[in-house]
Structure 1
């Protein structure tokens, strides 16, 4: 048995006995403790094995027996889209939509930062000196590319986002850079930028974005979004690396299920635990932690700061990073650790806290190695009852290490991408509370360098549930189409 499979068995045992799992009406997730797990054996899961890529026969992933995959849009070498654009790397969040002729249309983020020229046509760019955005690609269920184009350019650090039920992708900027803000952690001056950043943008699945941000949904380090069509709220996560992060909701002024678009000018709010102001939810939680919540208003969701064109802005980046959150904290909003992936499923929004679950921090930041001392949490918010519950809290890095993007399978299993500095897996968390491995990154570069610590991102199922599409988020990014008997392994 390989070391990888031994680790997988250890993870499976610890996941059942050590992780805190949600109780209540959340898609059948049930509370389980060590004694309960001992009397109820988990479903057997297949081990992972090396599988060659159907693109070229090279092993890039380990998967369960019988599964296959094909990679595409690998930017280790130049890739040109059909509109003549050089495909950028840093493939990140992604949504899958029905395409023509039985294809799947993928709208894919590119988390590229720095004040450098935009990819694609600069005349169409939101900011011609911002290099992020989205590309759209039509593929078969087996990862064969049919066509591709630039669907949004001139944005920055497009991290994740969310698939909207009216047929759009909402892409999120994970930055607050702009000409009115000082340099961020990279030290690069923001003087060349022409627009404020830190917003969400809508990208229709069948075309191109109008390049107009939804500013009322906030200017902060956005990560992902999930829309509740029953309540009419867009839920938003914040990944503020060095500071506490917030969980938000945006109520648009018109119903996008009727208009087919997310309108600007609505109301932004931030989650607070009812009766427990500034509750630290980044710290280790009690088993089956449950919190009734309320929402506090953010009066200035899209700040502009004074500056002189051509000169460094006097407002420090850290001040801009926390401007929105501090309004919520002043009213008792809760503290989370690095909120990343989010997905809506049957009245519940599931979201991950990448470094949640450890000893409490002594302040809201800045924290040099990231806010939060744990290895990850998965939370669930019941939109109707307004109750927040802990789904899972990792007992250690061998079980679940830094959960990031998340989606749900047709059978209700949460599919979680890891983002750590060691082996990165795609995990499954079943409605019975069992955590298991779906895929393992075994990438190497063309020169033989180890790339097994490149993170998975953008997991999304094809509309028919046949194929799991997922990205490798790295400067030399790529996308995978993975298929097999998902029901057999409980996904």
Structure 2
């Protein structure tokens, strides 16, 4: 059995899970049950093997890039973050991001687009528990690099732009011509289920490389992650002027803050952490969350403009913050390249040399805890999106160098392999994204982000393991 497909090395650390035992370089061996060995399983849609799953699990892919929405327009690619809401008759309502960069033109109805030149946005689908599409449509268009986001308690999705492209900024790494864009990008947008999206950015929540959003129902705060590949990233919270559940929507005009470690200015949390690490925290204000620029400054300058304000006030430093999820008073968020580079692992480019950390911020206590740090790529390789099951087990989507997995991190602290992505010929960059459990926990919906992206419904004997 491949060691990447049934991991057995774990060590105990103190963390947000009661009595957690998390993988680390200092650990002894302990068997991890998970759901058992993975085997190739054929897609019920067309018979192709796309996933390797434990015995008893089945799946169907749907809404492939290039397919048609119910209105006849084409489904865009680069499927990314996603959330599932309850729909009629045991169906699920999925809101899904499309991480499309560059001035390639909006999908769907361009008259409704925020920026008719931008090709990203979201789609909304009603599907059965078995991945059969009932209806589908574009729900937000004309945005850009919609990477992740998060579900909101008032039946809405917040979509995040992982870019600061715009006509006021020099071109980014992709080589796209920003002068063709008509609007500034780098914001978050609300996508409600019961009404049309306004396509109005929440500018007070900042203009930076937004990744994920996690809502705290007790305070109304929205916690935001930043994925700044080449530079330090920060952990933020947006405090709307009115509790969104009371307002029925997300209002602009609030306050943006950045997390700092109490008593330790600019604490570098991107490096390896000792097992049991926990910090008291404070929040620092961002005075100018949506700064104006003149003369089309370099993209690298603009993408750091908000974060630098926070770090000047002492905000903590992270490496590539990506997925985030709220669960029972705690926001779990992922640092994709946090930690230490293990001997034998490839040295990574970008800011941060580790293979991934999972952090836990307790909204009720203000404590920040290390939930997990990967000891090497064979155990966990560059985690990205994250979700939680009803039992509190985390699902981590990998975006690694080799085979990519859906890995589980149980409340007992065990990391295990649940699903492996079959390599896609000619597309080494294919990865998992957007994992989310449907109503009642019957189905795990997940995306394959690839040149020809798609969504997948997975179901089976969940009761047999920690999900």
TM over 0.5: yes
Secondary structure of the structure 1 residue equivalent to 2:182: coil
C-alpha separation in 1, matches of 2:153 and 2:439? 12
C-alpha separation in 2, matches of 1:211 and 1:356? 34
The 3 A distance-change label for structure 1 pair 420 and 201 is same
C-alpha separation in 1, matches of 2:257 and 2:365? 17
Mark the runs of 5 or more structure 2 residues left unpaired by the alignment: none
Mark the runs of 5 or more structure 1 residues left unpaired by the alignment: 308-312, 361-366
The question of 1:318 aligning with 2:300 is answered yes
Aligned residue in 1 for 2:350? 370
Contact kept in structure 1, 2:119 and 2:141, CA below 8 Å: yes
Pairwise CA RMSD of aligned residues? Answer: 2.0
Task: For residues 142-175 of structure 1, give each alpha carbon's deviation from its aligned partner in whole angstroms, at most 9, with x where no partner exists.
Answer: 0000100010000000000000111000000000
C-alpha separation in 2, matches of 1:36 and 1:418? 23
Aligned residue in 2 for 1:415? 395
The 3 A distance-change label for structure 1 pair 47 and 267 is same
Aligned residue in 1 for 2:454? 478
Aligned residue in 1 for 2:171? 183
Measure how far apart 1:450 and its partner are: 5.5
Secondary structure of the structure 2 residue equivalent to 1:201: strand
The 3 A distance-change label for structure 1 pair 258 and 375 is same
The question of 1:62 aligning with 2:55 is answered no
2:181 to 193, 197, 200: 193
C-alpha separation in 1, matches of 2:35 and 2:442? 19
Secondary structure of the structure 2 residue equivalent to 1:292: strand
C-alpha separation in 2, matches of 1:150 and 1:44? 37
Greater CA drift, 168-177 or 51-60: 51-60
1:457 to 423, 433, 453: 433
Secondary structure of the structure 2 residue equivalent to 1:170: strand
The question of 1:168 aligning with 2:144 is answered no
The 3 A distance-change label for structure 1 pair 60 and 42 is closer
Aligned residue in 1 for 2:61? 71
Aligned residue in 1 for 2:312? 330
Kindly tell me the number of residue pairs found equivalent between the two proteins: 463
Task: For residues 92-129 of structure 1, give each alpha carbon's deviation from its aligned partner in whole angstroms, at most 9, with x where no partner exists.
Answer: 00010111232111000000010121111111100011
Q: TM-score, normalised by structure 1?
A: 0.91
Measure how far apart 1:369 and its partner are: 1.7
C-alpha separation in 2, matches of 1:169 and 1:356? 27
1:234 to 222, 227, 238: 222
Q: TM-score, normalised by structure 2?
A: 0.95
The 3 A distance-change label for structure 1 pair 223 and 32 is closer
C-alpha separation in 1, matches of 2:426 and 2:104? 29
C-alpha separation in 2, matches of 1:339 and 1:479? 23
Aligned residue in 2 for 1:310? none
Contact kept in structure 2, 1:423 and 1:452, CA below 8 Å: no
Contact kept in structure 1, 2:25 and 2:375, CA below 8 Å: no
Secondary structure of the structure 2 residue equivalent to 1:327: helix
Greater CA drift, 413-422 or 34-43: 34-43
Contact kept in structure 2, 1:231 and 1:384, CA below 8 Å: no
Greater CA drift, 367-376 or 234-243: 367-376
The 3 A distance-change label for structure 1 pair 323 and 409 is same
Aligned residue in 2 for 1:47? 37
Secondary structure of the structure 2 residue equivalent to 1:146: strand
The 3 A distance-change label for structure 1 pair 79 and 117 is same
